[in-house]
Structure 1
């Protein structure tokens, strides 16, 4: 476990890129073998705006990365944060707890917040307005959202007292997890349901991309499903009933155009329809 932590403490940028590109490639190919839906679309054409926003997310995280390094160094030097205040524990438990808490602050909390505050929802709308959810949808985030999520991750580092090794391990796991849960793949229902007791499964997250409330306001988790179960935001919906997108922003052409997507946060707020 020490070797694992040390590796992520100093993980080369090329290795981080390989994790992102490798995961994307793997699930892209897997979608062709076991698709959940047989989309009638040109896959590369659909991927272009999503990959554009993946690139902007990478750039923003790269520019702001020094803040993570400085914060992680500060909490360790000053013995600050939850991990540093707890009694000594086995290294394996320390790492699991660190990643577990980072998943809350870096994923669940910002995601929940974006759905509850109208101005943030309009920023997050770019992610939800994809009508053909697949693995490229994973990092389809407006640049403003990338900044917002980075701020929550930074908060997590300070509150948790996470060393850089845990931060980068969490980020690597998060990338692969979100590619997996967005991928247009069909696991056996029993396997998916069993997986969802611990981890966010593809079917579980797809419920979140259903076009109406309350389903779109559920299943905020990224790696671990326990946060949704703990806070009462877990919901189920049969995969055959899924309709992607947001019902009050139905124009698929606009929702596939980079220029229009960049302007999306500045449209008039519309709340999705609530169904019983």
Structure 2
């Protein structure tokens, strides 16, 4: 574990890029072999839109990354945060457990909680809508975030670093795992039902997350997790739905052509608010 932490403490930007691009390329190929849905769409054009948002997310996180490093340094220097308390109370705790707890807590604050709040606070939901308007969910959808949402999620991650008291190595490890798991659970792939079900007890599986992308409430407001599924089980936001019955998108923005237009997508947060209209869980 010490070797792993040492690597991630000073992981080069080029290596982080390889993780991002390599993950997309890997799941892109798997989607061709075992697709969950055979979409009738121009995959390259669809990917182009989502990769644009991937690049804006990279830019936002690159420009603000120094805040994460400063926050981490401050927590370590002042012994502030949950991990620092755990380290003082349980000095003999295995490094594996220390890292697992750190990654899980960062996943809660930076992913689950941020995601939950985005669905419950209208001004945040306006930005998150861009992610949900994708009617062809695949691995590139993972990074389809409006630049404004990238800032929102960064703030939650920053708060998480402060509360958790996370060292830089754990932050970088968390972000690397988060990228790959997001690409995995958005990927348009089909796994044996039993395998997907067992996976969903621990981490967010493709079928589990696809439920979140169903176009109607209440399913849109379930399965907020990214890495670990435990948070949805703990807070009772876990839901199951037959993947064959899913309709991707969001009912307030049903126009697939509009949702594939970059200019229209960038303007969504500033449009007149369209509240969700469908609440029938049986449809």
The equivalences for 1:1-276 within 5 A come to 1-86=1-86, 87=89, 88=91, 89-272=93-276, 273-276=278-281
Provide structure 2 residue ranges, at least 5 long, that are not aligned to the other structure: none
Give the secondary structure class of the aligned counterpart of 1:154: helix
How much does 1:270 deviate? 1.8
Whole-angstrom CA distance in 2 between matches of 1:256 and 1:48? 10
Whole-angstrom CA distance in 1 between matches of 2:272 and 2:216? 18
Whole-angstrom CA distance in 2 between matches of 1:193 and 1:268? 39
How much does 1:267 deviate? 1.4
How much does 1:241 deviate? 0.4
Whole-angstrom CA distance in 1 between matches of 2:46 and 2:26? 18
Length-normalised TM-score, structure 1: 0.99
Whole-angstrom CA distance in 1 between matches of 2:96 and 2:237? 29
Structure 1 runs (4+) greater than 3 angstroms displaced = none
How much does 1:248 deviate? 1.5
Whole-angstrom CA distance in 1 between matches of 2:228 and 2:275? 28
Q: What is the root-mean-square deviation in Å for CA atoms of aligned residues? A: 0.6
Whole-angstrom CA distance in 2 between matches of 1:275 and 1:264? 25
Length-normalised TM-score, structure 2: 0.97
Give the secondary structure class of the aligned counterpart of 2:268: helix
Whole-angstrom CA distance in 1 between matches of 2:76 and 2:252? 47
Matched residues, number? 276
Whole-angstrom CA distance in 2 between matches of 1:248 and 1:137? 19
How much does 1:271 deviate? 2.4
- Deviation track 1:60-111 (CA, whole Å, cap 9, x = no partner) reads 0000000011111111111110011122211111000000000000000000
Q: Which is further off, 246-255 or 13-22? A: 246-255
How much does 1:269 deviate? 1.7
Q: Which is further off, 107-116 or 244-253? A: 244-253
How much does 1:141 deviate? 0.2
